[in-house]
Amino acid sequence: MSQDILINWAPQETRVAVVEQGAVQEVHLERTLERGLVGNIYLGKVSRVLPGMQSAFIDIGLDRAAFLHVADLMPNIAAKHAAPRDRLANVSAAEPPAPAAAANGNPRVLTPDAVLPIERQIFEGRALMVQVLKDPIGTKGARLTAQISIAGRLLVFLPQDSHMGVSQKIPPSQRDALRQRLLRLTATADGSAAGGFILRTNAEDASDEELIEDTAYLRKTWLRIKEAATRQPSATLLHEDLNLMQRVLRDLVGTQTQSIRIDSREQHGLLQAFAAEFMPDTVRKLQHYSGERPIFDLYNVDEDIARALSRRVDLKSGGYLVIDQTEALTTVDVNTGGFVGARNFDDTVFRTILEAAQTIARQLRLRNLGGIVIVDFIDMVREDHRDAVLTEFRKQLARDRVKTMTGGFSQLGLVEMTRKRTRESLAQMLSEPCPACSGKGVVKTARSVCYDVLREILREARAFNPREFRVVASPKVVELFLDEESQHLAGLSDFIGKPISLQAEGSMTQEQYDIVLL
């Protein structure tokens, strides 16, 4: 199915929409201030070695020095210690031999006794290529590793290693065959592997052509990093993890992509240069959008995003979905609504559920919902209807670039499925828990809050002896006390023998109140 990719760029935020047949299927966004440093590669300079902690502080050009532990150095790095103190004379010298492989093909795990002390491996003033493992937090600097890895769409490249690995999430029965296939596809002309690779989970069903393309991209990236390391001074950024637009070219663009339109002339030029070097086949698909209407208005993307933050999704048939996302799982409830159909109830239910199956698959992609998903379809009497719905649901889910697994109907008529978590959901990225309801989705009624206030006054009256009690609450609660609940408030005042005054505070939510002792 053909697709178009729209890129809306602004200095503060980049948004990407994937459109198929006029309908938005996926939305991705990245905010400039929220981009971290994880994955960035620097030519650092050792500023201090701490033998007692077996660690070192590395200057990578940030406000605070970064932290490197001896366990994150490459084994036997001291043996390649020919670089001058202020320059990395030869980048290949920073590439130590890989650890010996164990019988099962995995790298040999170095015990603490096998690791050289850090003071015998690096010294102050030495240039060292490092990669950020963890962003700086508070007063702590970034956490580093000297074991470089570069992630691609299907593979992870280990330029300083020769290990060939397969994701542990792939079934063990398939790993050996995939490892042999990876060895064959990544071997160079002289028969060597020239670096190690790890096959990612989403590469389980990838074609040879796709794996070869990813291999070429990763090796070319590494060559650029090594070249930059020979030219740049210490404490310099050598490689920044790809931004959203670059990841779109790497991960989302395929043979089905007709066009990639971006509304910034400057970013269009930068993206063209990136594509020309790493993905030349995509250059002809890049287009600069210069229309008067905002690019997302072409397919009403903003309206789809707004609807994706709502619990309810209306269907064309008159039915609707209710989608609830919790920490443990996501539930989807299918309802017929007011649609009763022209013939009989079974046909009405069947047509509604078929539409619901298509819409649910799209909403999972659009909202990027991951983990366990429970779908409560409307009960169907006929077995052939149930089979047709399940077939259609699986067909729509097969279009998802994220891995999904679907079971059949349970005895309760529920369909259980899983969708791999790849990033935060759209709701998590764009919204936060409501301060009024603390994320519950509901608030107490004004009457319930009134009764909470009455109980609290009685509790305070037994513990203290003020001259007067003053209730500060939302206008709606105060209004109810002055009207329908006035008798109960007066009765409590008589019972405790103290006056109770009211004060409306417009800034308070309905559940908030304060009792002041005067």
* HEC-encoded secondary structure of 483-516: CCCHHHHHHHHHHHCCCEEEEECCCCCCCCEEEE
Res. 81: pLDDT tops 50: no
Give the span between the Cα atoms of 25 and 72, in whole angstroms: 40
Identify the pLDDT of residue 344. 66
Q: What is the pLDDT of residues 191-210, one digit of tens each?
A: 555 789 999 877 888 888 88
Average pLDDT, integer, range 148-155: 90
Find where tokens 């009763």 sit. 340
Q: What is the pLDDT of residues 220-259, one digit of tens each?
A: 999 999 999 999 999 999 998 889 999 899 888 888 899 9
Specify the amino acid at residue 247.
R
pLDDT band at 104 (very low <50, low <70, confident <90, very high): very low
pLDDT band at 36 (very low <50, low <70, confident <90, very high): confident
Long-range contacts at 20-24 (CB < 8 A, ≥ 24 apart):
22/299, 23/299, 23/362, 24/299, 24/300, 24/301, 24/304, 24/366
Identify the pLDDT of residue 278. 82
Res. 178: pLDDT tops 60: yes
Identify the pLDDT of residue 101. 38
Identify the pLDDT of residue 26. 93
Identify the pLDDT of residue 98. 36
The phi, psi pair for 374, rounded to 5°, reads -110, 125
Closest CA relative to residue 219, chosen from 248, 249, 189, 244: 189
pLDDT band at 126 (very low <50, low <70, confident <90, very high): very high
pLDDT band at 190 (very low <50, low <70, confident <90, very high): low
pLDDT band at 74 (very low <50, low <70, confident <90, very high): confident
Q: Work out the percent of the chain whose per-residue pLDDT is above 90.
A: 54
Identify the pLDDT of residue 338. 64
Identify the pLDDT of residue 403. 84
Identify the pLDDT of residue 207. 87
Give the span between the Cα atoms of 501 and 467, in whole angstroms: 11
Identify the pLDDT of residue 332. 95
Res. 364: pLDDT tops 70: yes
pLDDT band at 105 (very low <50, low <70, confident <90, very high): very low
Find where tokens 């096959």 sit. 199
Per the model's pLDDT, the better-predicted residue between 369 and 189 turns out to be 369
Cβ neighbours around 242 below 10 Å, total:
18
Q: Do β-strands 164-166 and 196-199 pair in parallel, antiparallel, or remain unpaired? A: parallel
pTM of the predicted protein model: 0.72
Instruction: Please name each of the domains of the chain with its CATH number.
Output: 3-35+243-301 (3.30.420.60), 41-239 (no CATH), 311-430 (3.40.630), 446-517 (3.40.1260.20)
Over the chain, what is the mean pLDDT? Answer: 85
What is the distance in angstroms between the CA of the first residue and the CA of the last residue of the chain? 71
Identify the pLDDT of residue 342. 52
Q: Is the separation of the CB atoms in 369 and 360 below 8 Å?
A: no
Average pLDDT, integer, range 421-447: 85
Res. 518: pLDDT tops 50: yes
